[in-house]
Structure 1
Amino acid sequence: MLSVFQNKNAKINEGKFIILQRRKPSVLLELGDLANSENSNYLNSEVEQQKIAERIFKSLKIIAEKR
């Protein structure tokens, strides 16, 4: 998998991969730490995932409407 990211100009930082030089706008969201059991339970809950998705969508919609 590393070679896939290297081919896309990835930045490797503390075990995380961030793709650089994107051609389209992008958003990178860090929602929690899956190694933390409280975060993991929250992020693995379908109910909470739906709430998170709705909040992200509403936030992006507000930003888009301001443009």
Structure 2
Amino acid sequence: MTDSVTHEKTGLLVDERSPEQLAGAIVRLSKDTALAEILADNALLKVNETFTRKASAQKFSCLFESLAEKK
């Protein structure tokens, strides 16, 4: 998930094998709704910038252009 989530910016990363860390993150977000809202807003921005069809198409277009320039 580290390629999709930036800790403390777009989400909270925890050890996947640690129920205690996961529970702690859930409790933290349930108590700190301002943080939860900030993380959600940042995550939505990242998704729209990185993972939409349009964003993917633009990245592929840039890649193909750079490859064509090298020939």
TM-score by length of 2: 0.37
- Computing the radius of gyration over CA atoms, which structure comes out larger, 1 or 2? 2
Higher strand share: 1
Q: Structure 1 length normalisation: TM-score? A: 0.39
